[in-house]
Homo-oligomer: A and B are copies of this chain.
C-alpha cells in the first residue's frame, strides 16, 4: 500500500507539506494532533521569515537614506510610537503586549546594527 504524499513540485522550496511530515513523524509515535500543529507552526514560520526579509529590505533602504541625509540611525520618537502601536495591535491579536514590545526591541537592535554598518560605508571600499 502506498501513502498519498503531496508532490514536492507543488510546494515552494523548503516548505514541509503536512502530509509528508505526518508520514515521517507518525513513525516516531507522536500524537497526530501534535504533528498537525507542528505543520501549522512550520507554515507560520515560513511566512515570518519572508515577512522579516521584506522588513529588512525596507529598513535597509531607510538606512541608506538616513546615511545619505546625515540623519541619525536611531529615532527615539519613532520607536516610542511603534511600541505604542504594536502594544495596541498585540492586544487586538491576543498576543502578550510585553512580548510584542520585546519582539520589536529585538528587531530594532538588528536594524540599528545594519544602519551603523551602512553609515560606516561598504566594507573594503
Residues of A within 8 A of B (CB): 13-14, 16, 31, 33-34, 37-38, 40-42, 44-59, 61-62, 65-66, 69, 71, 78, 82, 85-86, 88-90, 92-96, 99-100, 103-104, 106, 110
Contact of A85 among B16, B54, B69, B103 (CB under 8 A): B16
Report the Cα distance A87→B106, complex, angstroms.
18
Give A80 to B106 CA distance when docked, in angstroms: 22
Q: Taking chain A's interface residues, is the majority helix, strand, or loop, or is none over half, making it mixed?
A: helix
CA distance A16 to B90 in the complex (A): 15
CB-CB under 8 A for A92 and B13, given A51-B48, A65-B33: yes
Say which residue of B49, B59, B69, B89 sits within 8 Å of A31 (CB atoms): B69
A65 to B38, CA, bound (A): 12
Extra contacts besides A14-B85, A49-B86 (14): CB < 8 Å:
A14-B92, A31-B65, A34-B71, A37-B59, A38-B78, A41-B55, A41-B59, A45-B86, A47-B51, A48-B48, A49-B89, A49-B93, A50-B93, A56-B99
Inter-chain CA distance A16–B81, complex, in Å, is 11
- A56-B95, A82-B42, A103-B52 given; A37·B14 CB < 8 A: no
